Amino acid sequence: MPPTLPADDDAAWAPLKSQWSLREGTTYLNHGSFGPPPDCVRAARRNWTEALESQPMDFFVRQLEPAWLAARDKLAAFVGTKPGDLIFVENATVGMNIVADSFPLGAGDEVLLTDHEYGAVQRIWQRACEKTGATARTVELPLPFRSAAETCDAIFSAATDRTRLLIVSHITSPTAVILPVADICGRARERGIAVCIDGPHAIAQVPLAIDEMDCDFYTASCHKWLSAPFGSGFLRVAPRWQAVVRPPVLSWGRIPPTKIETWSDEFVWSGTRDPSPYLSIPAAIEFLEEVGLESFRSRTHWLAQYARRKLVELTGLQPLVPDDPAWYGSMAHVPLPPPQDGGSAPATLRPDETSPVSNPLQHTIWRQLGIEVPIVDFRGRRYIRVSCHLYNDTEQIDRLVAGLAALLQQRN
Ligand SMILES: Cc1ncc(COP(=O)(O)O)c(C=O)c1O
């Protein structure tokens, strides 16, 4: 067991920052969108790529399959499922598309999503429903969040006897809320509704026990909180659905092209490519295990709670969830006052800037303060979402809050 560092002690955690080579001049408070990997994970990836590029035949034919299986075993144990129920995918988006292309839907069927689902996920199910004559429906969850029971009641009172599938984030993207997914799965089973959990923010941020939850599908990207290389994720499919889940790209399945024995064999070889992101997932897990997962979670939650408190002091506006680690982990999410220009003014670009993020305040924070932090619009209000990882500290949060205070005074 690694020694436990006090969550509130910046100095004790400071040495860990040197594990990341982040670009000078930017304060990165957006691990939740794109999580930079620590140097040891980058090195692991480089080593795998080197093994591939220095002797491709040996790598693909002799080394790949055992390394792939070892990485899959490690990831499966980390997320609490059986290796045979899990496949690697490039990201949660690919995982969700595989489910959408495979799940049996017909005319009159309904797919139910919460209104906190990621925008691209909404599009994926819109298209799947258009193709099959099914309907994608969205349920508005009551705000603010008060109890798991109230959230579940809202979801299941929107379900009908036509609802075949529920799409729900484990931790939501626009609102950073930990949804009560275990309760949701239990209630869905009673109603005979399948559940697909969209979990990219959850892996590492909260403990995962996917088999215990007994969802039908669970997909996640490993390049967020786990800090594995970009282009690494997984899809876990409950055995009851494995017969219907098909690879989006058909190739040999396994390499060498031996007989396909299990559903997951079809997903190992989908044409020649660099699998180093998947093979480096164990390095990311080992890194966090060495830090101590509970220490990681309590430190990053403590920072998120600190950010939340400071932002609430600044705005006087209350967040959507109670101040409780059951509802939020490593991301603080706080409402901001409406823009004083009504939000109509687009970000102004310098000649060397090609495209701003869509929110003008986010663009200004980055340009004037050098801080990457998302400003999110949700149901007509704007919020700030502050991600806290091991390379962040209270000085960065204080700088954000002071800078934001000045910007809000200047009518942003
Ligand atoms: C809840 C949620 N689902 C899905 C995604 C898509 O993740 P990726 O781009 O890694 O596929 C994101 C990305 O931010 C997300 O927050």
The secondary structure element, H or E, covering residue 404 is helix 394-409
Q: Where are the alpha helices (DSSP H) in 229-371?
A: 276-279, 281-291, 293-315, 360-364
Ligand 1 pocket, residue 202 CB under 6 Å: no
- CB within 8 Å of 127: residues ≥ 6 apart: 100
Q: Would you say the pTM of this structure is higher than 0.75? A: yes
Give the ligand 1 atom nearest the CA of 224: 10
CA max distance for the chain: 67
Give the pLDDT score at 340. Answer: 83
Q: For 361, what's the count of Cα atoms within 13 Å in the CB-facing half-sphere?
A: 29
Residues 284 and 286: their CA atoms lie apart, in Å, by 5
User: What distance in angstroms lies between residue 92's CA and the mean position of ligand 1's atoms?
Assistant: 6
User: What distance in angstroms lies between residue 93's CA and the mean position of ligand 1's atoms?
Assistant: 6
What does the block give as tokens for 210? 């996917």
Give the pLDDT score at 346. Answer: 63
Higher local confidence (pLDDT), 162 or 258 = 162
Ligand 1 pocket, residue 93 CB under 6 Å: yes
% of the chain beyond a pLDDT of 90: 92
Ligand 1 pocket, residue 118 CB under 6 Å: yes
Give the pLDDT score at 259. Answer: 83
The predicted-structure confidence for 212-258, as pLDDT tens digits, reads as follows 999 999 999 999 999 999 999 999 999 999 999 999 999 999 877 77
For the segment 348-373, the average pLDDT, to the nearest whole number, is 81
Q: How confident is the model at residue 268 (pLDDT cuts 50, 70, 90)?
A: very high
From 94, 221, 226, mutation site for ligand 1 pocket: most ligand atoms within 8 A of C-beta:
221
The predicted-structure confidence for 311-330, as pLDDT tens digits, reads as follows 999 999 999 999 999 999 99
User: What distance in angstroms lies between residue 376's CA and the mean position of ligand 1's atoms?
Assistant: 15
Is the bond leading into 142 cis (omega within 30 degrees of zero)? no
Pairing of strands 135-139, 27-28: unpaired
| Mean of pLDDT over the chain | 95
351 pLDDT above the threshold of 60: no
Give the pLDDT score at 342. Answer: 65
Residue nearest to ligand 1 atom 7, measured at CA? 92
